[in-house]
Amino acid sequence: MPEMNPFSVDIMKFFKRKHFGKCSTDKDLVVSEFDTDLRQYRIKVDENLAEQLLKKFDNATLKCTYQVIGRKKKSSFPDKDFSLSNAEHLSQSFLVPKTIDFIFTECHAVREKTELKLLQKDAFLFVQNRLKHRQKDPPSDVESKPNVIILGIDSTSRMNLRRSMPKVHKFLQKPGWFEMQGYNEVGKNTLPNLLALLTGNAEKKAQLNGQFRRSGFIDKLKYIWQLFKQNGYMTAFGEDCGKINTFNNHNSGFEKQPVDYYLRNFIVALETIFKTRRQFGNVFCLGRKLSFKYLFDFAKQFMQRFQNAAPVFGIFWSNSFTHGDFLGATALDQVFLEYLLLYDKLGFFDRSIVMVLSDHGYRYGVTRQRSKSGYLEERLPIMFIHVPPWFRKRYPQHVENLKINQNRLSSSFDLHLTLHHLLQLNATSMADFSPKLQSSQCKSCQSLFFQLPYDRNCFQAGIGEKWCSCEPTETETNQVLIRKVAREVVRHMNEHLRSRNLTKLCNNYTLKKVLYMDSKLAPNDDSLENDQLHTYIVTFDTNPTSAHFEATVQWNTEKETLTMNVDELSRLESYEKYSKCTRDPIVKKYCICKSFK
């Protein structure tokens, strides 16, 4: 795997630090706090601030109401909907019933029954501890059932973390943190990479067949959080963007709530109710607050509520800063650091296995179009694992293996088995694992607490040729060969449109220009067939619209024939405006709609 320079000239000429504007400069009129004696949340109205705000209105009083946000279970697509109760009076100090998870509040200046002005609206989330028993001390099995917390930052490569989030990177260098520097993506976008992590299967065929768009399909998969639940864990899952949510972007989402605490419907409601602001390519502000803060406050409450009651498994995934702009991470650095420092201060890391990771690097834009290193950057996302002091003392061999594995090839299939390992920490080898737990798409994958082979290849890690970053490349200079291969690629693309009956919907392509073609240097192999087959990475533009593509293909030098999977084409610029005629996320990559003007 080639070493990469995050600060290379071809990237740094496009790099600049960004800042985000505050969502609101208003003081909080309504605040939430947790009553530690009653073990309940309380909502309070700031009477002093209310008095100041009401001075602008003669003889006005304050009227505050709340509405409960919930999941509309009878909806055709419950993940894409929400319920909102009738408005109820919000008293100056309101003790939130334990049956309520989310509320929306409004405060008006009123004179008699006339509403003069909306002063402020807000939303609050509550992770309610509904366990029937309460423990004052941590569970006795804290070391056999550690908390498992996954903090995800979308589209963030190892390189961009160092460039854009130096403060976070410095925090992740602390004792107990291990960086899997050879962690390689297994698929194009968030869904296959997270599925590999959560289910052990990237479901490639199901995605191509459009099964994820069918209601109920997503619910039928076997998720690792179900196994944690069976082992006494409380479970949570949240993302901070409703439109590009992992399981809902062009897909139907879950019919049934998949975990104990689920943020989805709250975020969908807020994106509907509140005025939103976009920055870095996505919804950024939900009313008065960052969507990112709603997500990581949710994570904080989840860990707090069960700190002395039960082990927890939670995955908290952020898209808002980083999905649409590779420079968005520069604005996230301080915000994310503050949450990591807060979690550390509150003691969450003392009993938790924590993973800070991404699904892939940035997939389009200047890093992919203007930089040769962008090919590797896309394929090598961040992956850090934290193990607390007691774990390092009790399982020294696991920790030693983590150290070794930092510089070996790994994938989310391995990470899936690592999660299984956390439920059976006394296992001494993969032979101790039930065959049923083995990743269905990678039979040779294994827990990261066991030593990975030093000469491991991508196939053994469940990584396809398209995504493999292990093989060095050299730039091809034979212009006749380059044009010949590129023309065959475009011909295959047009044939693919015909075979999928897309010619009425999508334009045919013509080759505009080849930017470069790299040859993958194959391992030593004396076979004749291997001498004839060459793997090329071709980057080229097509008409119409100067679409920018990258294809990984095999070329037979003797027969001058080409093999490629058109569905695995990479599109190196945003294609949203060109592909509105189809809902299929695979087809969207390469369809230039005839209806586009």
Q: Which of 293, 310, 305 is nearest to 127 (CA)?
A: 305
Which domain CATH number covers 567?
A: 3.10.450
Residue 524 is predicted with a pLDDT of: 44
Residue found under tokens 């008409």: 543
Task: Provide the pLDDT confidence category of residue 525 given band limits of 50, 70 and 90.
Answer: very low
- In this model, does residue 400 exceed pLDDT 50? yes
Same domain, 460 and 480: no
Indicate whether 526 pLDDT > 80.
no
Last residue of a domain, one of 101, 125, 149: 125
Residues 322 and 228 in one domain: yes
Please state whether the peptide bond connecting residue 381 to the residue before it is cis, i.e. omega within 30 degrees of 0. Answer: no
Burial 219-229 (b: 16+ CB within 10 A, else e): eebebbbbebb
Instruction: Kindly state whether residues 460 and 549 are assigned to the same domain.
Output: no
Q: Is 198 inside any structural domain? A: yes
Is the four-CA dihedral 251, 302, 361, 240 of positive or negative sign?
A: positive
| 90 three-class SS | coil
pLDDT of residue 523: 56
Average pLDDT over residues 151-177: 96
Residue 8 in any domain: the answer is: no
Q: How confident is the model at residue 597 (pLDDT cuts 50, 70, 90)?
A: low
Q: What's the pLDDT score for residue 225?
A: 98
Lowest-confidence region among 80-89, 116-125, 212-221, 451-460: 212-221
CA atoms of 398 and 250, how far apart (whole Å): 40
Q: Report yes or no on 269 lying in a domain.
A: yes
| Same domain, residue pair 327 and 246 | yes
User: In which domain, by residue range, is 296 found?
Assistant: 141-467
- What does the pLDDT look like over 285-315, one tens digit per residue? 999 999 999 999 999 999 999 988 899 999 9
The pLDDT, as a whole number, for residue 146 is 95
In a domain, residue 9? The reply is no
Average pLDDT score over residue span 576-581: 89
Range of weakest confidence among 205-219, 410-424, 495-509: 205-219
pTM of the model: 0.92
- Whether residue 235 sits in one domain with residue 156: yes
Segment 184-193 shows an average pLDDT of 92
On whether residue 331 sits in a domain, the answer given is yes
Q: What is the pLDDT of residues 319-346, one digit of tens each?
A: 999 988 889 999 999 999 999 999 999 9
Give mean pLDDT, residues 502-506. Answer: 93
Q: Which of 281-285, 306-310, 417-421 has the highest mean pLDDT?
A: 417-421
Indicate which CATH number applies to the domain containing 254: 3.40.720.10
Asked whether the predicted pLDDT for residue 135 surpasses 70, the reply is: no
Same domain, 76 and 165: no
316 and 425 both lie in a single domain? yes
Most confident among 157-171, 206-220, 561-575 (mean pLDDT): 157-171
- Residue located via tokens 């006749």: 480
In a domain, 136, yes or no: no
pLDDT digits (tens, 9 = 90+) for 228-273: 999 999 999 999 998 888 898 878 899 999 999 999 999 999 999 9
Mean of all residue pLDDT scores within the chain: 91
Per mean pLDDT, which range of 34-38, 82-86, 179-183, 525-529 is the poorest?
525-529
The pLDDT value recorded for residue 522 is 65
Say yes or no: 444 and 506 in one domain.
Answer: no
Q: How many domains does the chain have?
A: 3
Instruction: Indicate whether 1 belongs to any domain.
Output: no
- Which of 444, 467, 490 is the C-terminal boundary of a domain? 467
pLDDT at 528 over 50: no
Identify whether residues 484 and 459 lie together within a single domain.
no
Residue 527: is its pLDDT beyond 70? no
- Determine how many CB atoms are found less than 10 A away from the CB of residue 6: 18
The predicted pLDDT at position 370 comes to 67
Q: Are residues 96 and 189 in the same domain?
A: no
Q: Is 113 inside a domain boundary?
A: yes
Q: Of 118-122, 359-363, 412-416, where does mean pLDDT reach its minimum?
A: 359-363
593 with 580: CB under 8 angstroms? yes
Q: Are residues 154 and 293 in the same domain?
A: yes
Domain final residue pick, 434, 450, 467: 467
Are 117 and 223 in a shared domain?
Answer: no
**Residue 142, pLDDT score:** 63
